[in-house]
Amino acid sequence: MVGTFGDVSGFSLMSGKSFAVGEAGIMLTDDRDIYERALLFGHYERHSEIINPELQKLSGLPWGGYKYRMHQMSSAIGLVQIKQFQKDMVEIDKAMNYFWDILEGYPGIKAHRPPKNSGSTKGGWYCSLGLYKTEELEGLSITRFCEALRAEGVGCSYPGCNRPLHIHPVFNDVDIYGHGKPTRIVNATRDVREKTGSLPNAEALQKRVFGVPWFRHYWPERIEEYANAFKKVIENYKELLQGDTGDPEELGGWHLSKR
């Protein structure tokens, strides 16, 4: 199960997520020392829970300099939301799988989901993406494909996803603390930066994925309307080849609201 292996895991609960409570998050761990260090980092009013004597004597002020605990309203909303979240996930899973079942076998696209009867699901299907196979549509660019989908009313269909972090300036060029050189290499004995071209498979992903509708309710007629838009574009892809100028140099974005 997600979040139950490893030393620590985290979940974002921001308003756009499948389990949304406002601006908040959850950290999970079964290691008491990690839990107490998290309290020290941002929960200064909860330092009375710390039992590790070495950490106890260092308590009193938040190590991170900020209160990171979620606010009470988000907590209250979350306690109510979680009572029905399993039911919500079942509904979302049913709706999303229905959408992809309709489109199964159509060239150029493929569902990004676990195999049927695998016992696994995509949970709340947050930030749903489809896989694009340009070679099955005679090289039609993903940009042109998504333009056609948007023209048919699929407004969420944009090429790409979040860009790979290794090419972001903060990991290559930004001097965060004023050391006079990029923070990434301040204490390094060699240049450890991984710039564009260093991870070609990760960088090529932008031309292989695209946004799809996120159905949170099993409303067959509405889902079929969107599926039919995909069918129309795929069945008429040859008309789109003319005038296809290809993909721009950069696709995707650093966060979902900037496409």
Split at pLDDT 50, 70, 90, the class of 46 is confident
pLDDT at 206 over 70: yes
29 within some domain: yes
99 within some domain: yes
pLDDT per residue over 120-150, tens digit each? 999 999 989 999 999 999 999 999 999 999 9
Verify that 145 and 38 share a domain, yes or no.
Answer: no
Verify that 141 and 208 share a domain, yes or no.
Answer: yes
* 215-238 average pLDDT score: 98
Verify that 137 and 219 share a domain, yes or no.
Answer: yes
For the chain, helix, strand, coil in percent to 5 are: 40, 10, 50
Token code pair at residue 225? 């309307």
Verify that 104 and 224 share a domain, yes or no.
Answer: yes
Predicted confidence at residue 45, as pLDDT, reads 74
User: Where is the domain boundary, 52, 81, 110?
Assistant: 81
247 within some domain: no
Split at pLDDT 50, 70, 90, the class of 257 is very low
46 within some domain: yes
Verify that 137 and 209 share a domain, yes or no.
Answer: yes
Q: Distance from first CA to last CA of the chain, Å, rounded?
A: 31
250 within some domain: no
Verify that 178 and 188 share a domain, yes or no.
Answer: yes
Verify that 59 and 130 share a domain, yes or no.
Answer: no
47 within some domain: yes
> Contact, 146 vs 237, CB < 8 A?
no
pLDDT at 161 over 70: yes
258 within some domain: no
Predicted confidence at residue 207, as pLDDT, reads 96
Q: At what angle do helices 220-235 and 85-103 cross, to 10 degrees?
A: 30
Verify that 59 and 98 share a domain, yes or no.
Answer: no
User: How many structural domains does the chain have?
Assistant: 3
Verify that 69 and 102 share a domain, yes or no.
Answer: no
Higher pLDDT, 2 or 82: 82
User: Where is the domain boundary, 81, 98, 120?
Assistant: 81
Which pTM value belongs to this model?
0.88
Verify that 104 and 214 share a domain, yes or no.
Answer: yes
CATH number of the domain residue 223 falls in: 3.90.1150.10
pLDDT at 1 over 80: no
Predicted confidence at residue 51, as pLDDT, reads 95
* 224-248 average pLDDT score: 97
pLDDT at 172 over 90: yes
Predicted confidence at residue 148, as pLDDT, reads 98
Verify that 57 and 146 share a domain, yes or no.
Answer: no
The fraction of the chain above a pLDDT of 70, given in percent, is: 97
pLDDT at 108 over 50: yes
Q: Which residue has the tokens 């509405």?
A: 222
Predicted confidence at residue 195, as pLDDT, reads 86
Verify that 159 and 169 share a domain, yes or no.
Answer: no
Domain that holds residue 178: 165-197
* 2-11 average pLDDT score: 81
2 within some domain: no
CA–CA dist 69, 76 (Å, integer): 13
CA–CA dist 190, 74 (Å, integer): 44
Token code pair at residue 259? 């496409």
What is the rounded average pLDDT for all residues in the chain? 93
> Contact, 140 vs 237, CB < 8 A?
yes
Predicted confidence at residue 256, as pLDDT, reads 57
pLDDT at 4 over 80: no
Distances (CA, A) of 53 to 28, 36, 56, 58, 65: 22, 11, 5, 9, 21
Distances (CA, A) of 207 to 131, 141, 196, 236, 256: 9, 8, 15, 20, 16
